[in-house]
Amino acid sequence: MITNLNHEQCLDRFNLELGSFHFQCCALLWRQCYLPAETPSGLRRLREEELVILRGNGQGERKSYERIYDYDVYNVLGNPDSGADKKRPVLGGKEFPYPRRCRTGRPRCKTDPESESRSGTIYVPRDEEFSTIKELTFSAKTLYSVVHALVPSLETAIVDTDLGFPFFTSIDELFNEGVNLPPLQKQGFFKDLLPRLVKAVTDVADDVLRFETPETLEPFFWFSDDEFARQTLAGINPYTIQLVTEWPLKSKLDPKVYGPPESAITTEIIEREIKGFMTVDEALKQKKLFILDYHDLFLPFVNKVRQLKGTTLYGSRTLFFLTPDGTLKPLAIELTRPLSDDGGKPQWKQVFTPSWHSTGKWLWRLAKAHVLAHDSGYHQLVSHWLRTHSATEPYIIAANRQLSAMHPIYKLLHPHFRYTMEINGLARGFLINGEGIIESSFSLGKYSMELSSVAYDKQWQFDLQALPNDLISRGLAVEDPTAPHGLKLAIEDYPFANDGLLLWDTIKEWVTDYVNHYYPDPSRIASDKELQSWWTEIRTVGHGDKKDSPGWPDLKTPSDLIHIITTIVWIASGHHAAVNFGQYTYAGYFPNRPTIARTNMPVEDPKEEERKLFWDKPEVTLLTCFPSQIQATKVMAILDVLSNHSPDEEYLGQDPEPAWKQEPRIHAAFERFNGRLKELEGIIDARNNDPKFRNRNGAGVVPYELLKPFSEPGVTGKGVPYSISI
């Protein structure tokens, strides 16, 4: 073939006789990288025309064969044509700011022109769809089966949807005996679809839903205060623990609406709980006090959540003390109910502390259950969905609309966008939708996605998605040029931060080598129209509700681009792996991470029968507070699916893009990247075997492996894929 690139060529046909090959559908195929200004003359028009096709015209309903990338608001979560109670607010805009999703162009609902009608099929651009292997092992087949077949069967088997677990031993039976599923016309239907979860006891028996035992399932390990604290640093939501920098604690909410802002956690309580080891002032100066703060974010939702059936809510604060051995000790939990909307019921707040007295001990356990439900909700709605899945979708859309497939930055980013748009589409249809898994099984119910919007509005900034900046913003690190990674951690044994910073630096080194090869001086950044259009569109359209917020870096120099790309790659890889692939390990045994607290504390305006039940059978009060049987089992089934690595998973540092092999310097840099990731595997193993790291090992403690780069298929609790692939 002629390769001087001065003229267009039409390839009529070609034969492939060896191996199997994957081509993007209807796409411009080009392995060589070119910046826009360096594009050979024979390709310039094709390059521009390809981008015009990918952008579309913003009109009409998208068809499954199309490759059009466009933006829309989240107006697909409700189903108002099925009833007024099925309507959900549109996320995206002034009232409920939110990242944009991929536009599908489906017709609007008849009863609500702001909402898009529901559909059994979910459009994603053709190039974003799951591979054949992924289709066979996950995709709509598995998730759809859990939501639309397994869950209804569970609801048939468990007639009373409000029924809780009568004994703690009955929870263990989920892993031993399982739940008998009703017979279906096709014997073994569920076993064929979900072989890890569903067992056929005999050839003629009904299917049985029997869960695999999570690594964390040690008898009553979840009762332990040490484990409760440890998982804030080495669990599936290590993004919320903060350093206490101001005392006394005080709400920033309007006291006329929510009641007095002062916290009930006093200096006296803290100094009593740390047994006079130091004063509060000394603890603040020495950076010994830390907090899980779900007070101001949750409190505005309390009154309306309490109008829903089968759930309740508080604003909460949980204080921890950093002990001399480097572990955290829980000191106090404050639960707050705001002033009622009509002002007829005063604010209620109470502080609970660890206790050896029977009554205090059970109240403390109940308070922890409420905090864990808050943490579970925040984890799914903010740390996981908002900060990874939702925030990344605009990066993908903008890249395909503004960066040619032959642009070197497109080729760098492309592996990190694999499957994300399809999994997001599935999530909007089955998980975060009205009456979906999140709404029906988490404390915030129908207001779940509203809280996610408030968190986006109040908390999300692009610059804070970079791991070093995130740690600094939470007071968990300070800049120190003499320390590893240039940061000194406030808690030295912080497994997520220690492993994460190693991974962050490894990613940054690879991105630096790549960017500096194509952009040796700032003038190339400024003159790259595709690159500038991509970054502008992300800020002003994809994240347009936050376009005037702080935290958006300029794109003027190679170092600016390195920071932006490293942040996006981290979100899609390390951040997502840390909050996703340990879900079944840590939450599969739901008392460790209940998704919902269904009852109020027994000391908040108790009725006589509630007081008597707590006094006589406190364990029943706790079991009643926990998720119902149907809530627990369907969430466990979903978490098992979502914690799974597909056989075709692509992990960081593996399977380089073909274009990278064309450039010797890029190929060498990629090989160094792969080598550093292999070294990281060994470092994490060594840390997990070092007894001085008490937050990541010990008798019955699950070693922290969530940021180990590689994994075999299945539910493994480790492995960092390139992308948000599940």
* Per-residue pLDDT reduced to its tens digit, 56-65: 999 999 998 8
pLDDT band at residue 182 using 50, 70 and 90 as cut-offs: confident
DSSP assignment of 384-399 equals IIIIIIIHHHHHHHHH
The predicted pLDDT at position 165 comes to 94
377-389 burial: b if 16+ Cβ within 10 Å, else e: bbbbbbbbbbbbb
User: What would the mean pLDDT of 134-162 be, rounded to a whole number?
Assistant: 65
Contact 75, 100 (CB under 8 A): no
pLDDT band at residue 158 using 50, 70 and 90 as cut-offs: confident
Q: Can you tell me the distance from the alpha carbon of 11 to that of 21, in angstroms, rounded to the nearest whole number?
A: 17
Contact 682, 675 (CB under 8 A): no
Closest to 77 (Cα-Cα) out of 59, 62, 92? 92
The predicted pLDDT at position 154 comes to 76
pLDDT band at residue 144 using 50, 70 and 90 as cut-offs: low
Contact 570, 391 (CB under 8 A): no
Q: Can you tell me the distance from the alpha carbon of 259 to that of 397, in angstroms, rounded to the nearest whole number?
A: 44
**Range list of H helices, 274-355:** 280-285, 302-305
Angle subtended at Cα 345 by Cα 253 and Cα 163, rounded to the nearest 5 degrees: 95
Q: Which residues contact 581 (CB under 8 A, 6 or more apart)?
A: 643, 645, 706, 711, 716, 717, 718, 719
Strands 207-209 and 242-243: unpaired
Q: How far is CA 14 from CA 1, 2, 398, in A?
A: 12, 15, 33
Domain boundaries, the chain: 240-379+597-627
The predicted pLDDT at position 657 comes to 87
Q: Which residues are catalytic?
A: 384, 389, 576, 580, 726
3-state secondary structure of 316: strand
The predicted pLDDT at position 342 comes to 87
Checking if the pLDDT of 409 tops 60, the result is yes
The predicted pLDDT at position 139 comes to 43
**pLDDT, greater one: 189 or 238:** 238
- What H or E segment, with its residue span, contains residue 337? strand 328-337
617-650 burial: b if 16+ Cβ within 10 Å, else e: ebeebbbbbbbbbbbbbbbbbbbbbbbbbbebbb
- Of all residues in the chain, what percent carry a pLDDT higher than 70? 89
CB-CB neighbours of 606 under 10 Å? 14
Q: Can you tell me the distance from the alpha carbon of 18 to that of 336, in angstroms, rounded to the nearest whole number?
A: 67
User: What would the mean pLDDT of 123-132 be, rounded to a whole number?
Assistant: 78
Two tokens, residue 251: 């709400």
Strand partners, 477: 489
User: What would the mean pLDDT of 44-67 be, rounded to a whole number?
Assistant: 94
Phi-psi region of 110 (alpha: psi -120 to 50; beta: other; left: phi over 0): alpha
**pLDDT, greater one: 640 or 8:** 640
CATH for the 240-379+597-627 domain, from 3.10.450.60, 3.40.50.620, 3.40.190.10, 3.40.50.360: 3.10.450.60
Mean pLDDT over each residue of the chain, to the nearest integer: 91
User: What would the mean pLDDT of 688-709 be, rounded to a whole number?
Assistant: 93
Two tokens, residue 124: 């994603």
Q: Can you tell me the distance from the alpha carbon of 722 to that of 680, in angstroms, rounded to the nearest whole number?
A: 16
Checking if the pLDDT of 204 tops 50, the result is no
pLDDT, tens digit, 9 for 90 and up, residues 342-378? 888 999 999 999 999 999 999 999 999 999 999 999 9
pLDDT band at residue 699 using 50, 70 and 90 as cut-offs: confident
Closest to 724 (Cα-Cα) out of 128, 126, 113, 324? 128
User: What would the mean pLDDT of 390-404 be, rounded to a whole number?
Assistant: 98
User: What would the mean pLDDT of 578-597 be, rounded to a whole number?
Assistant: 96
pLDDT, tens digit, 9 for 90 and up, residues 167-177? 999 999 988 88
Contact 225, 232 (CB under 8 A): no
**Length of the chain, please?**
726
Two tokens, residue 422: 């399809």
pLDDT band at residue 145 using 50, 70 and 90 as cut-offs: low
Region of poorest pLDDT, from 11-20, 395-404, 671-680, 708-717: 11-20
Region of poorest pLDDT, from 81-90, 143-152, 288-297, 475-484: 143-152
The pTM score is: 0.94
Checking if the pLDDT of 402 tops 50, the result is yes
Give the number of C-alpha atoms closer than 13 A to the C-alpha of residue 108, restricted to the C-beta side: 9
Checking if the pLDDT of 23 tops 70, the result is no
